[in-house]
Amino acid sequence: MKAITRIRKSVSILANRINRKVKNLSISFKRAWQIVKGRELISRISGVTYGTRQRALRKLEKYNAGMINVTLQHEADNAYDVNAIHVMVNVGSGAHYHLGFLPRDLAELLAPLLDKGIHLAARFKSVTGGYADRETRGALISIEI
């Protein structure tokens, strides 16, 4: 029963956020249900070229994606975006790396869920790029609501 309540709460929060742009509550709820039923969102991580994040991505390439732990944290006091969600990763009990942020449009939807205490399970999918025609690396994660 708790799972159903959590799902309904997630859908309501997402629908209200979507409705801010769509201005049609019916369509907003349909899209929210599609997101929740899909269970898994695949997203890139923004800001991976800042500071030493490229070095961290090179280190992460050596590991199997299942070994990398991902934590999403809402950073409400962020000066540039009140919905900012930063992505932290670590391998086992090793050092934590701040890889970057969720894209702004996705963070706008998911930040209220984190604020309401709804757990978002995030998994590391892969490191992208890093080859001859694209030396800059990126990263993909999956998020389950």
Q: Where exactly are the structural domains of the chain?
A: 1-38, 39-144
Cα–Cα distance, 84 to 86 (Å, whole number): 6
pLDDT digits (tens, 9 = 90+) for 38-53: 767 889 999 999 999 9
Q: Are 109 and 145 in contact (CB under 8 A)?
A: no
Selected residue with higher pLDDT from 49 and 33:
49
Spell out the alpha helix ranges (H) of the chain: 2-22, 25-38, 53-60, 104-115
Percent with pLDDT over 70 in the chain: 97
**What does the pLDDT look like over 59-102, one tens digit per residue?**
888 888 889 999 999 998 989 999 999 999 999 877 788 999 99
108/120 Cα distance (integer angstroms): 14
Please give the average per-residue pLDDT across 114-120, as a whole number: 88
Q: Is the pLDDT of residue 128 over 80?
A: yes
- Give me the CATH topology for the region 39-144: Alpha-Beta Plaits (3.30.70)
